[in-house]
Amino acid sequence: MMQCLPFFISPQLSAGSPCSCEVGAEGTKKKKSKNLAKDMKNRLGFLRRRNESPGSNSAGKIDKSMKSVKPTPEEALKWGDSLDKLLTHKYGLAAFRAFLRTEFSEENLEFWLACEEYKKIKSQSKMASKAKKIFAEYIAIQSCKEVNLDSYTRDHTKDNLQNVTRSSFDLAQRRIYGLMEKDSYPRFLRSELYSDLINQKKASSTSTSSSS
């Protein structure tokens, strides 16, 4: 097992904290101290921001395969109406994911998407298996991709695992959707990535006029 790098360990943490995620007896993933993980994330984010110019973060690049569904400026402007319009557009979803990646909060969107896929499952046994996996990966305390949920929602979702249904994650999903809607979504609309999309027509016409 890899050992934690000494300079990442804060004085309040135990030097014996495990570095890798492990699946416990109840299927709940355990990880090293949450504070240590956040400290490492913040350090890495700081280093990336220092080495890259604003708006050019490599983590925020959109997959080239999305080029065929790139929206017109008019289409992109509609994303400003609601988060739902952004997420239902294939390129919009990819753009938002790329943005969240630069903020190290991609797990919120991943959890929301996992819940959407979960609700499409028809087999009860597959549903139960998927439910445990989602809980272990995103909701269990100190899970590797733990999303920010209040204790009531976490406990309520855990209780739902006793008898899984398509609505087992509805409350948790609504909470995370609301978090993205109030927090990340407004910042995305102010981002350089989004600004470039809605201003591409203007930039294109300027370039054409200057070359003529």
**Tell me: the pLDDT tens digits for 117-166?**
999 999 999 999 999 999 999 999 999 999 999 999 999 999 999 999 99
Taking Cα atoms as reference points, which of 39, 21, 53 lies closest to residue 145? 21
Query: How far, in Å, CA of 171 to CA of 176, rounded?
Result: 9
Q: Which CATH class is domain 73-199?
A: mainly alpha
Q: Quote the pLDDT of residue 40.
A: 54
Helix 124-134 and helix 106-118, axial crossing angle in degrees, nearest 10 = 170
Cβ atoms of 99 and 192 closer than 8 Å: no
Q: Quote the pLDDT of residue 62.
A: 76
